Amino acid sequence: MNTKTTVISEAELSKQFVFCDKISAYWHDKNTTPVAYVETYGCQQNEADSEKLRGYLIQSGYTIGSEAEGADVVIMNTCAIREHAEQRVFGNLGALTHTKRRHQGQKIFLCGCMAGETKVSDRIKKSYPHVDGVFSTHHLWQFPEILWNVLSRGKRQFYIEDEPGSIAEGIPQARDNALKSWVSIMYGCNNFCTYCIVPYVRGRERSRKKEDILAECRCLIEAGSKEITLLGQNVNSYGKDLYNDFDFADLLAAIAEIPGQFLIRFMTSHPRDASKKLFDTMAASPKIAKQLHLPFQSGSTRVLKAMNRHYDREKYLELVRYAKQVMPELVLTSDVIVGFPGETEEEFEETISLIESVHYDSLFTFIFSSRPGTPAAEMEDPTPKEEKNRRFDRLCAVQNAISEEIHANYIGKTLRCLIDGVDKDLLTARTEGGRLVRLEGDESLIGTFADVTITGATTWSLTGQLK
C-alpha cells in the first residue's frame, strides 16, 4: 500500500479557488446570497476542519448561518470515535429530508471521520438519497470542486478513496474565535491503539513544516489571538516524518519566541512519546500553559498492552511524577476507557487506584465502544453491560470527589486568567491551566489577561473576582 503523504501543490490548490469563483458567479447570476450551515461533531481537529470548510464557503460567496433550516448548503462534519456518536449523526441526517423538502435546492454533504468508513458511505449511497455528497478528511481540500460538481451537474459526489493522507497549505480558515485559535500541526495517527478507529479514517501521521506552523502562529498573534492550541492526535511525535533534529519540544520553544502576550496549549500528548525534554521546555517558558492532557486509558499494565499503548503503569506514573516535579502548578487531565474487552474487576481497581494516586483535575471518561474493523472488536468481551455501567459510575464518583477537592483548594488564590467571553451576565475566563472561572466585570475586559482571586468552586467551575 502507498503510505506516502501527498503534498498538495499551490497550483493544485489554486484550481480550487477557481471553483470558488465559479460558485460565486453561479449565485450572482441568480441574484441570491446563499447561506451555508456546518454542523461539527467530535474533537478539536474537526472544529479546525470546519473552520476551513467555512473559509471555502465564504470564498464562494456564502454567508454562514446557524441552522439547517433554509440553508442552501448543509455540511455534517462527523465523528466516528464511538457507536453512539455515529447513531446521532444518522438520526440528524435523516431529519434533513424535511429541511430539504422545505427548501428546494438544499445541498447536503457528509464529511469528517465517518466519511472515511466504507460501511458509512455504502449506507448513504443506498439509504440516504437526499445526501448530495460524501468526502473523507483526505479530500477536504477539494471541497469547492465537490460542491461545484453537485451544483453544475446535479449528480451525487463520493470522494472517499482510501489514502495515506494529504497536507494542503493555504486553505482559507474562517475562525470561530478571534482570541483562541486552533492550529493543526499534524494530521493522522500511526499508533493503532486496538480500540480506536482514528488511524483508519484519518490516515497516516504527517507533520506540517515548522515554517508553515510558525508563520500561521505569527499571523494569528499579530491579529490579536491570545491563545494558540496546537492540535494533533499525538503531538509528541511531531516532526518524526520530517526532521532528525527538531521535535515537538523544539516547536513549542520556537512558537514561544514569537513576540507578544499569548499562551500556548496543545493536545493530545501520547504518554508513549512524552519526554522529559517536553516537560522541561514547558517549565522554562511562561508562554506555555502549565496544562497537560495526558490520556492514560487504563491503570492496568495488562490492559494497556492489549490496547497497544506502548507504555505501562509504572512508566506513566514516572512521567507524571517528573512533570509535577518540574511544574508544581501543573493542571493535569486525562482520558480513560472503562470496560475494555476482558477488563477484570481487579484491573478496573488498578484504574481507580491510578486516578487516586495521580489526582487529576478532571477526566474524560468513556465506556468502551466496539468499532468494527479494529482489533478490539474481535476480542472476547464477557463483562455484561450493567457491570460496565456500574464501573463507570464508580469511576465518575471517585473523580468528581477529586475534582471538587482540587477546585476547593483554589479558593483564596489569585490566578492570571484570560477573560474570553460573557455568559448570563458574568464574564468567563480561563486560568492558565484551562479551568473555567466566572466573574463580574465589564465586557471591555474580554481579550485581556487579568489577575483573578478565586472566591468559590464547584466540581466543574470556579467563581472569582478581579483583583
* Between 268 and 431, CB nearer to ligand SAH: 268
Q: Which residue, 34 or 112, has its beta carbon nearer to ligand F3S?
A: 112
Q: Does 335 help bind ligand F3S (rule: CB under 6 A)?
A: no
| Residue 277 grid coordinates | 525534554
Measure the CA dihedral 40/198/298/88, to 10°.
40
Count CA atoms closer than 13 A to 309's CA, side-chain side. Answer: 28
Residue type, 285: S
CA–CA dist 467, 461 (Å, integer): 19
Q: Counting contacts by CB under 6 A, is residue 234 touching ligand SF4? A: yes
Polymer length in residues for the chain: 467
Judged by CB, which is closer to ligand SAH: 136, or 333? 333
Write the binding mask 25 to 64 for ligand F3S: x where contact by CB under 6 A, - elsewhere.
-----------------xx-xx------------------
Question: For residues 313 and 354, what is the distance between their CA atoms, to the nearest angstrom?
Answer: 8
CB environment 414-431: b (16+ within 10 A), e (fewer): ebebbbbbeeeeebbbbb
What is the side-by-side strand order in the sheet with 291-293?
Answer: 291-293, 331-338, 362-367
- How many residues sit close enough to ligand F3S to count as binding (CB under 6 A)? 11
- Residue 42 or residue 144: which is nearer to ligand F3S going by CB? 42
By beta-carbon proximity to ligand SAH, the closer residue of 17 and 366 is 366
335 forms bridges with which residues in the sheet?
Answer: 364
192 binds ligand SF4 (CB under 6 A): yes
Query: Counting contacts by CB under 6 A, is residue 198 touching ligand F3S?
Result: yes
* Shortest Å distance, C-beta 79 to ligand F3S: 3
CA distance 229 to 306: 31
Cβ 194 to ligand SF4 shortest distance, Å = 9
**Residue 369 contact, options ligand SAH, ligand SF4, ligand F3S, none, Cβ 5-8 Å cut-off depending on partner type:** ligand SAH
Task: Please give the Cα distance from 464 to 295 (Å, whole number).
Answer: 29
Among 189, 213, 267, 439, binds ligand SF4 (CB under 6 A): 189
45 binds, among ligand F3S, ligand SAH, ligand SF4, none (CB under 5 to 8 A by kind): ligand F3S
Q: Can residue 144 be called a binding residue for ligand SAH (CB under 6 A)? A: no
Per CB under 6 A, contacts with ligand SAH among 223-242 are 233-234
Of residues 88-127, which lie at the interface with ligand F3S (CB under 6 A)? 112-113
371 binds, among ligand SF4, ligand F3S, ligand SAH, none (CB under 5 to 8 A by kind): ligand SAH
Asked whether position 295 contacts ligand SAH by CB under 6 A, the answer is yes
Distance CA 251, CA 366 (A): 31
In angstroms, the CA 134 to CA 128 distance is 11
Supply φ then ψ for residue 301, to 5 degrees. -60, -35
Q: Does the footprint of ligand SF4 cover residue 193 (CB under 6 A)?
A: yes
Interface with ligand SAH (CB under 6 A), residue total 16
**264-303 binders of ligand SF4 (CB under 6 A):** 270
CB 421 within 8 A of CB 377: no
Shortest distance, position 46 Cβ to ligand SF4, whole Å? 13
Number of Cα atoms under 13 Å in the Cβ half of residue 435 = 34
In the DSSP assignment, the letter for residue 173 is -
Task: Name the segment binding ligand SAH (CB under 6 A); options: 215-223, 237-245, 355-363, 366-374.
Answer: 366-374
DSSP structural state of residue 288:
B
3-state helix, strand, coil in the chain (%, to 5): 40, 20, 35
Judging by beta carbons within 10 Å of its beta carbon (0-12, 13-18, 19+), is residue 145 exposed, middle or buried? Answer: buried
State the binding partner of 192 from ligand SF4, ligand SAH, ligand F3S, none, CB within 5 to 8 A by kind: ligand SF4
- State yes or no: residue 318 binds ligand SAH (CB under 6 A): no
Backbone angles phi, psi at 195, to 5 degrees: -90, -10
When asked if residue 110 is in the footprint of ligand SF4 (CB under 6 A), the reply is no
Nearest C-alpha neighbor of 264 from the set 70, 418, 105, 429: 418
Show the site string, 394-423: x = touches ligand F3S by CB under 6 A, - = not. ------------------------------
User: Which residues, 6 or more positions from 425, have their beta carbon under 8 angstroms from its beta carbon?
Assistant: none
Our finding on whether 369 is near ligand SAH (CB under 6 A) is yes
Residues contributing to the site for ligand SAH (CB under 6 A): 81-82, 195-196, 233-234, 268, 270, 295, 297, 335, 337, 366, 368-369, 371
Binding site for ligand F3S (CB under 6 A): 42-43, 45-46, 79-81, 112-113, 198, 202
